[in-house]
C-alpha cells in the first residue's frame, strides 16, 4: 500500500471523527500510540511492534489529513536519500 492510498482510506474511514476531535486531540492520541510503541520496543514483542507501528502510522496519516498535508509529498523529501546531502547512506557529519 502506498502512503497516499493509506491516507485516503483513513480519510474516508475516520475524517468525521478526526475532524470532530480536532488536530490537538488527534495529535495527543498519536503521542499515546507512540508511547505504546515504546513499550513494544522495550518488550521486543514482534506482534506488538507490528500492531503499534501500524497504529502510529494510522494516527500520523489522520493528523496529516487534518492539517492538509499529503504524506506522499512529505515523504518525497527523502526520495534521493538524505534531504541535506542527497546521499545514500547519509554523508552528513553525525550530530
Cβ within 8 Å of residue 91, ≥6 positions away: 82, 85
pLDDT in tens, 1-31: 999 999 999 999 999 999 999 999 999 999 9
**Model pLDDT for residues 37-47, shown as the tens digit of each residue:** 999 999 999 99
* Sequence-ordered list of residues with C-beta below 8 angstroms from that of 33, at least 6 positions apart, any chain: 52, 55, 56, 59
Contact 82, 90 (CB under 8 A): yes
Residue 23 near residue 59 (C-beta atoms within 8 A): no
The predicted-structure confidence for 33-89, as pLDDT tens digits, reads as follows 999 999 999 999 999 999 999 999 999 999 999 999 999 999 999 999 999 999 999
Predicted local distance difference test score (pLDDT) of residue 94? 82
- CB of 41 closer than 8 Å to CB of 49: yes
Short-list 57, 59, 51, 56, CA closest to 25: 59
Query: Which pLDDT does position 79 carry in this prediction?
Result: 93
Confidence of residue 95 (pLDDT cuts 50, 70, 90): confident
Q: d(Cα 95, Cα 86) in Å, to the nearest integer?
A: 17
So what's the architecture of 3-78 in CATH?
A: Orthogonal Bundle (1.10)
Amino acid at each position: 500500500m502506498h502512503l497516499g492510498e493509506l491516507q485516503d482510506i483513513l480519510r474516508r474511514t475516520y475524517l468525521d471523527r478526526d475532524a470532530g476531535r480536532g488536530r490537538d486531540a488527534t495529535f495527543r492520541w498519536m503521542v499515546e500510540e507512540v508511547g505504546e510503541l515504546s513499550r513494544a520496543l522495550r518488550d521486543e514483542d514482534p506482534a506488538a511492534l507490528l500492531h503499534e507501528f501500524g497504529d502510529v502510522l494510522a494516527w500520523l496519516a489522520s493528523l496529516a489529513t487534518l492539517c492538509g498535508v499529503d504524506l506522499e509529498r512529505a515523504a518525497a523529501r527523502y526520495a534521493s536519500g538524505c534531504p541535506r546531502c542527497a546521499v545514500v547512506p547519509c554523508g552528513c557529519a553525525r550530530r
